[in-house]
Amino acid sequence: MPEGLNMSRRIRRTPYTDRVEAAGVTGFSVVNHMLLPKAFQRTVEEDYWHLREHVQIWDVSCQRQVCIAGPDAERLVQLMTPRKVTGAKVGQCLYIPIVDHAGGLINDPVLLKIAPTTFWLSIADSDVLLYALGLATGYNLDVDVSEPDVHPLAIQGPKAEDLLASLFGDHIREIGFFRFGHFDFQGTRQLIARSGYSRQGGFEIYLDDSALGGALWDAIWQAGAAYNIAPGCPNLIERIEGGLFSYGNEMTRVNNPFEIGLGKYLCLDGSIDCVGINALRVIAEEGPHQEIRGVQFDGAPCPTCAIPWPVIADNSTQIGQITSAICSPRLKRNIGLSMISKEYWDPGTKVTVLTSDGLARSGTISNLPFA
């Protein structure tokens, strides 16, 4: 049993928390000052197999939206990201790094272009709204920065499309990956994107009205019975196998976008005005000193990785640290994610992982996603 989480208003409940509790949640995390369900009554492994075969409903309200709207909205978004935003179409999602003046990562949200001068940033765990407010004030931009009453609900797994088509109609099947459309729910217009924090396919419903949370959950739950729906949450086995990163775990402000494999998305040709662009051009010229990789390692199923575990090569050189890890029942190995120094990042490199149970385990550097 994990140690308890003490509740208060500051740790915000979501429009779905009542339903999540009724579904038997046993553990939470806290993201953006909001509850994120992290465990139900089944094991992580049982949830993993279920997610790969059926469909799950996830309360990811903690993916708060930072709404940037107004004549200078695109300028402000571009100031925060080195990925080119101009040219994105309404209805499109973009995975964008948010950086500081030194190119350090502040967040890695999904950007939704809602209208020509309205953007949502669907954020990981840091107060991007405060960064945007500071920049908007300092640059004296004509924008409004706010957190709307939008609470994403993810429907993930191979049966997600059939389930949502049964509720919202076959038009849902036409939404492309990282695109969104609008659909009717009980007379309201709701945004649904083909996206989500798994590699099993699915959608995220950006419910715009918290008062409808219970009704939306119930409608999906009832229609989902035919598809063997279960309550779930981002699955640690699935996300590590799939090479999906978590801000605050795999990267912090000491890391840059190159280190998490986003170099190919950056616009370094001088055509955009981003606060970190000059620093990133210097890094691009030198090349990053480390990059994220997979690490497979031996031994009994590893414990929870709550403190980074050193990754060692040549018997004594620390070449990285594992920041998320778990035993994969499919690969029948422990797997983890780690920044790895340049000299050692080639797949196949032999390493030693010092896990928090005191063991030194033999391991191998691997490409991501894991095969």
Q: Does 10 bind a copy of itself (CB under 8 A)?
A: yes
Min CB(346)–a copy of itself separation in Å: 25
Min CB(364)–a copy of itself separation in Å: 22
Residue that the structure tokens 């605050």 belong to: 248
Residue that the structure tokens 């939206």 belong to: 65
Select the residue interacting with a copy of itself from 14, 15, 28, 204 (CB under 8 A): 28
Q: Which stretch binds a copy of itself (CB under 8 A): 109-117, 180-188, 189-197, 246-254?
A: 246-254
Q: What is the DSSP track for 32-65? A: TTEEEEEE-SS-HHHHHHHHHHSEEEEE-TTS-E
Q: Does 289 bind a copy of itself (CB under 8 A)?
A: no
Q: Does 6 bind a copy of itself (CB under 8 A)?
A: yes
Q: Of 137 and 222, which CB lies nearer to a copy of itself in the complex structure?
A: 137
* Three-state SS at 253: coil
* Three-state SS at 285: helix
Select the residue interacting with a copy of itself from 42, 92, 95, 135 (CB under 8 A): 135
Q: Copy the structure tokens of residue 166.
A: 């049964």
Q: Which stretch binds a copy of itself (CB under 8 A): 5-13, 47-55, 179-187, 277-285?
A: 5-13
Q: Does 8 bind a copy of itself (CB under 8 A)?
A: yes
Q: Give CA–CA dist 139/129, Å, rounded.
A: 15
Select the residue interacting with a copy of itself from 90, 101, 314, 362 (CB under 8 A): 101
Q: Of 8 and 271, which CB lies nearer to a copy of itself in the complex structure?
A: 8
β pairing state of 317-328 and 309-313:
antiparallel
Residue 323: name the closest of 283, 359, 353 by CA: 353
Q: Give CA–CA dist 208/226, Å, rounded.
A: 26
Q: Does 358 bind a copy of itself (CB under 8 A)?
A: no
Residue 198 has φ and ψ, to the nearest 5°, of -150, 170
Contact 24, 40 (CB under 8 A): yes
Q: Which residues pair with 352 in a beta bridge?
A: 312, 362
Instruction: Give Dmax (Cα) for the chain.
Output: 64
Q: Does 39 bind a copy of itself (CB under 8 A)?
A: yes
Select the residue interacting with a copy of itself from 23, 94, 132, 260 (CB under 8 A): 132
Select the residue interacting with a copy of itself from 22, 33, 176, 300 (CB under 8 A): 33
- Residue 71 contacts by C-beta under 8 Å, 6 or more apart in sequence? 117, 142, 143
Q: Copy the structure tokens of residue 156.
A: 């993930």
Q: Which stretch binds a copy of itself (CB under 8 A): 9-17, 59-67, 197-205, 339-347?
A: 9-17
Min CB(15)–a copy of itself separation in Å: 12
> By CB under 8 A, how many residues form the interface with a copy of itself?
51
Residue type, 111: L
Give the residues lining the site for a copy of itself (CB under 8 A). Answer: 1-11, 13, 25-30, 33, 38-39, 100-101, 106, 125-128, 130-140, 246-249, 275, 304-308, 323-324
